[in-house]
Amino acid sequence: MTTLDTGPAAAPRVSFFNDPVIRGIIYQVVVAGLLIAFIVWIVGNTAANLAAQNKTTGFDFLWKTAGFDISFALFPWSRASFYWEAFLVGITNTLLVAFVGIIFATMLGFTIGIARLSSNFIVSRLATVYVETIRNIPLLLQLFFWYFAVLKAMPSVRESILLPFDSFINQRGIFVPRPMPDEQFGFVWIGVALAILAIIALRFWAKKRLETTGRRFPVFLSSVALLIVLPGLVWFASGASVAFEPPVLERFNFKGGIQLPPEFVALLFGLSIYTASFIAETVRAGIQAVNKGQTEAAQSLGLKEGDRLRLVIVPQAMRVIIPPLTSQYLNLTKNSSLGAAIGYPELVNVFAGTALNQTGRAIECIALTMLVYLIFSLLTSVIMNWYNARVSLVER
């Protein structure tokens, strides 16, 4: 009796070089080998050139005295400080202008972006003029404008312009009162922390309530009330107080208060206004990407224009807005290095400029500076990607 073999047919054998799996492994090994050889050649060539110029390498210079002044620092600095302290001054100054700039640019960009879609002719055209003017002028020229044409053109110290809350502005910057909380004020910060925890718990409770009953709770207004009332009660109960030290004009300059140097103000203005023009376009595109049917559905439910925008349009538009918004935050952080052009002591100016010129350690200074910007960018991307995952659509 003859039996038929009905099992699966064996795959035809192919030659060694035509196997796609083996061929892929060979290509990867070749590319990795070329990359390693290139790195070895770069390192060896650099070491040979440094030896020919009788230059040493290493990071031992970080523990040597810097011997130069820095015009603006967030912690005590003197000419006797070390190079690693100059490195920290550059990092903190860069973080300060980037963090505050991102907040200002986001607020201004969202406002301008929504204004571009306004039904009011004048408001929408003014927003359009802002975007088309600011984003088409190089950032460096805008920094020069704010620094040389606006802030450096201010009156001298003796003729300072008085601003509200005992603040002054002149060609040396902006002088504002310095808050001086007493020892009991620590309890107020504890109250703020408790209020933030209460807001997080309230948000989860309101979301669960909405899912089970369909009834919406005013989370935003309740959160604002918690953030004001709870620390306020702790303030009065603890008897804490805050005194303000106003700037006082003496013979040659103001004494006391907090001085915001013109370099910092010009860089902050330039970065915020320039980046806001791109964020505005991102916001406008994100809102217009939402299907018109969503707006019509919200109208059929009787939602007002503000509620439609806040509850229906913007939450859906955020999924489109977040990825390009992340790129704008990265650009703002990296563009802060242009502060070197107007003398702001950020990382490139202090460490990759003055410290490098004094020590001659070009490779070490540039490598550390690049590493810091890389870490800043990766951290920003991680945070924004986490937020993007939270607002993205969930497949059911």
Task: Give per-residue pLDDT as tens, 337-387.
Answer: 999 999 899 999 998 889 988 988 888 899 999 999 999 999 988 988 888
What pLDDT, on a 0 to 100 scale, did the predictor assign at position 162? 87
Amino acid at 256: G
The 8-class DSSP code of residue 253 comes to S
What pLDDT, on a 0 to 100 scale, did the predictor assign at position 152? 86
What does the buried/exposed string (b/e) look like for 81-93 if buried means 16 or more CB atoms within 10 Å of the residue's CB?
Answer: bebbbbbbbbbeb
How far apart are the C-alpha atoms of 274 and 109, rounded to whole Å? 10
pLDDT below 50 — which residues of the chain? 1
What pLDDT, on a 0 to 100 scale, did the predictor assign at position 93? 93
Q: Is the dihedral of CA 350, 356, 361, 367 positive or negative?
A: positive
Which helix (H) or strand (E) segment is 173 a member of?
Answer: strand 173-176
What pLDDT, on a 0 to 100 scale, did the predictor assign at position 238? 83
Q: Are 341 and 148 in contact (CB under 8 A)?
A: no
Q: Are 283 and 292 in contact (CB under 8 A)?
A: no
Gyration radius from the chain CA atoms: 29
- Burial label for 145, CB within 10 Å (0-12, 13-18, 19+), is middle
Return the HEC string of 276-325.
HHHHHHHHHHHHHCCCHHHHHHHHHCCCCHHHHHHHHHHHHHHHHHHHHH
- Burial label for 191, CB within 10 Å (0-12, 13-18, 19+), is buried
Q: Are 252 and 170 in contact (CB under 8 A)?
A: no
